[in-house]
């Protein structure tokens, strides 16, 4: 194997974290801020790019970091290495309620394409790059559906899905249409494209956005019930409006809360 061969265990139900077990000199790469806890013998090192190669070529590292910036991610990643004796552990937490998906890339012909915000961590040697849709014009308006990440290699990678996870096996020629934000990941054999929602009423008043992801088998597709964009918009809509008014609490209770806070007299 070119990637480090790591072991893992996933804990929790709704708010999960993954514990990675590292043998001496093994390394796992993660997004900045994902680490939850680690043993004292684990050494943390911030690096340019995804750390998939050990070369000292600055331009190569800069290109790798540039690809991550284009996918909306940080240009740096954090390497966690076991420089001690015996097995050591480091854990990474999910960013919001959902499911952590372990993916052995060697079981999927060495490549998985995933939503840009879903990647959590991977064994050193896994390359994290960018993937474009076929129709660039449609992709620009497709929001989350335009630029995706591709995970390549032969090691373990971990991605996060919000809410409930649904795994769908598509047969050859079978088509599944998915909201671009609800799409988590898919295998390299799936034909992926962006398709505009048909009909003026559907487009303007359907509430599903202008575009859908069209997935055609054969292959595997992972779908999430709670996209990060939906969660963020719900939180913003439920937040107090200007002046701290409790408009979302309704009627008498909201008015009483405002009086207690000094917002209304």
Task: Answer yes or no: is pLDDT of 1 > 90.
Answer: no
The sign one gets for the Cα dihedral 78, 180, 177, 10 is positive
Looking at every residue in the chain, the average pLDDT score rounds to 79
Tens-digit pLDDT profile for residues 73-102: 566 889 999 998 899 999 999 988 899 999
Residues constituting the chain: 265
Tokens standing for 174? 């079978």
* Backbone dihedral region for residue 250 (phi beyond 0: left; psi -120 to 50: alpha; all else: beta): left
Burial pattern 16-50, b for ≥16 Cβ within 10 A else e, equals: bbbbbebeeebbbbbbeebbeebeebbeeeeebbb
**CA dist list (Å): 200 to 101, 128, 135, 194, 256:** 37, 38, 21, 18, 43
CATH number at 7-237: 3.60.160.10
Determine if the peptide bond prior to 138 is cis (ω within 30°).
Answer: no
The β-bridge relationship of strands 98-104 and 156-162 is: antiparallel
DSSP states of 167-206 as a string?
EEEEPTT-EEEEETTTEEEEETTSEEEEEEPPSHHHHHHS
Residues paired with 162 in a beta bridge: 98
Domain coordinates in residue numbering, the chain: 7-237
Q: Could you read off the pLDDT of 135-181 as tens digits, one per residue? A: 554 445 444 445 788 999 999 999 999 999 999 999 999 999 998 88
Position 29 scores a pLDDT of 94
pLDDT given at position 70:
59
Beta-carbon contacts of 151 under 8 Å, excluding residues fewer than 6 positions away, are 103, 105, 111, 112, 113, 114, 119, 122, 126, 127, 128, 157, 159
| Mean pLDDT, rounded, for 99-120 | 93
* pLDDT score recorded for residue 103: 97
pLDDT at residue 245 is higher than 60: no
């Amino acid at each position: 194997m070119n990637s480090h061969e790591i072991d893992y265990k996933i804990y929790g139900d709704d708010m999960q974290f993954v514990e990675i077990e590292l043998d001496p000199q093994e390394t796992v790469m993660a997004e900045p801020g994902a680490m939850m806890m680690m043993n004292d013998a684990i050494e943390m090192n911030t690096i340019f790019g995804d750390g998939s190669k050990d070369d000292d070529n600055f331009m190569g590292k800069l290109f790798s970091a540039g690809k991550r910036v284009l996918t909306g991610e940080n240009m740096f990643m954090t390497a966690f290495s076991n420089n001690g004796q015996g097995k050591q552990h480091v854990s990474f937490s999910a960013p919001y309620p959902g499911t952590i998906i372990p993916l052995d890339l060697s079981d999927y012909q060495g490549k998985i394409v995933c939503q840009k915000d879903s990647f959590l961590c991977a064994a050193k040697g896994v390359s994290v790059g960018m993937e474009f849709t076929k129709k660039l014009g449609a992709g620009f308006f497709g929001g989350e559906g335009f630029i995706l990440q591709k995970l390549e290699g032969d090691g373990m990678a971990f991605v996060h899905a919000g809410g409930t996870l649904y795994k769908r096996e598509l047969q050859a020629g079978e088509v599944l249409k998915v909201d671009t934000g609800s799409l988590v990941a898919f295998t390299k054999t799936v034909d992926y494209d962006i398709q505009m929602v048909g009909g003026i009423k559907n487009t303007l008043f359907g509430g599903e956005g202008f575009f859908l992801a069209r997935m055609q088998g054969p292959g595997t597709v992972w779908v999430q019930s709670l996209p990060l964009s939906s969660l963020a918009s719900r939180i913003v809509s439920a937040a107090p409006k200007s002046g701290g008014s409790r408009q979302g609490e309704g009627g008498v209770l909201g008015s009483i809360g405002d009086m207690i806070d000094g917002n209304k007299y």
